[in-house]
Amino acid sequence: MKSTAFVLLICVCFTNLSFANELVVRHIKPISEKDHRNTYFVELLKLALEKTRDSHGGFVLEESELVMQQSRAIAFLAANRNLDVVWTMTSQEREKLLNPVRVPLLKGLLGHRIFIIRKGDQSRFAAIKDLTSLREMTAGQGHDWPDSHILRASGITVRVSSDYEGLFKMLASKRFDYFPRGVNEPFDEVASRSELELTVEPKLLIKYAAPIFFFTNAKNTQLAERLRLGLEKALDDGSFDKVLHHHPSTKLIFEQANIQDRRIFEIDNPLLTDETEQLRNQPRYWYVPGEELLAGN
């Protein structure tokens, strides 16, 4: 009996030691029950860490206990408080404050912005033929989103809110005319808020360079390098593209967004650093129309 108890004690000690040696990675949680934007990025985070398990060890993902808007999450990460990683569109300010993992998580598709509009308003948007006529309408955006600055820099009028859920209600109540969203976002957002009588506009698209990166605390270079290495491995073996093209929250891009048939208004993004600009010369990081047909294996 004593020997059995000793063996069990040794097993428990080794098990606890194994868990203790696992890397704990804390990430943001959804803003609300209807907010499904995180699921794809959590899947990529898990993939990057799994690709480096043999070289860097085990890991555990933990969701933050607090609900945070982007600006608060960035502040918590910068202060090394209760967060180890966030995913957000990059900017000069964010790259100075935090440590960017310069692998675009949506291969640039976040900068393809299509619109959520009110049902019944399609005729107004069908009449828009150029950027000048689009500037006569007002867009809605989050107050701490880089998109707000990018759109304004191109002459587009923007009304902002600090309340993500409130933006949909503001659109429904005619506080602004349209809500530009990354092509991975609006279909689920409209479907989960059917009571607001919103729809996805089918003909127009604003395009700008807008990579979304993982960011770590500026001093956490070890986690940043592990994530970079894991994402690069996933790009090399095709598993990155498989998640992008088949994850429930992103596959609608390729099934419904109809990018190739839209009228595209291309604008500049003045918020990119020189280092991020250089990524635009590396095709592996960017979406190529039709590539989803090759990612089915």
pLDDT digits (tens, 9 = 90+) for 102-133: 999 999 998 999 999 999 999 999 999 999 99
Q: Which helix (H) or strand (E) holds 188?
A: helix 186-191
Per the DSSP assignment, residues forming a β-bridge with 113 are: 182, 206
Percent of the chain at pLDDT exceeding 70 = 90
For 5-21, write each residue's pLDDT tens digit: 554 545 544 444 444 57
DSSP 74: H
Say which residue, 220 or 20, is predicted with more confidence: 220
What does the pLDDT read at residue 30? 77
The answer, yes or no, to whether residue 162 has pLDDT greater than 50, is yes
Q: What is the largest CA-CA distance in the chain?
A: 84
Which fold would CATH assign to domain 22-108+210-262+271-294? D-Maltodextrin-Binding Protein; domain 2 (3.40.190)
Residue boundaries of the structural domains of the chain:
22-108+210-262+271-294, 109-207
Band of residue 256 on the pLDDT scale cut at 50, 70, 90: confident
Domains 22-108+210-262+271-294 and 109-207 share a fold: yes
Average predicted confidence (pLDDT) for the chain: 90
Calculate what percentage of the chain has a pLDDT beyond 90: 74
Q: How confident is the model at residue 276 (pLDDT cuts 50, 70, 90)?
A: very high
Evaluate if residue 264 carries a pLDDT over 50: yes
* Band (203; pLDDT cuts 50, 70, 90): very high
Say yes or no to pLDDT of 87 above 90.
yes
pLDDT tier at 277, thresholds 50, 70, 90? very high
For strands 263-266 and 204-207, give the pairing: parallel
CA 75 to chain centre: 18
Count of CB atoms situated within 10 Å of the CB of 15: 10
pLDDT of res. 254:
87
pTM of the model: 0.81
**Buried b / exposed e across 162-180, counting CB within 10 Å, b at 16+?**
eebeebbebbbeeebbbbb
pLDDT at 2: 52
Q: Residue 12: its pLDDT value, please? A: 46
The beta strand positions in the chain, using DSSP E, are 23-27, 59-63, 86-89, 99-101, 112-118, 138-142, 157-161, 179-182, 198-200, 204-207, 212-216, 263-266
CATH topology for the 109-207 domain: D-Maltodextrin-Binding Protein; domain 2 (3.40.190)
Number of Cβ atoms within 10 Å of the Cβ of 261: 9
Judge whether residue 36 has pLDDT over 80. Answer: no
Across 77-81, average pLDDT? 95
Q: Which two tokens stand for residue 34?
A: 């209807």
- CA neighbor of 146 nearest in space, from 223, 213, 227: 213
Q: What is the pLDDT of residue 10?
A: 52
- Which tens digits make up the pLDDT trace of 21-34? 799 999 988 776 76
Q: How far is 124 from 129, CA to CA, in rounded Å?
A: 11
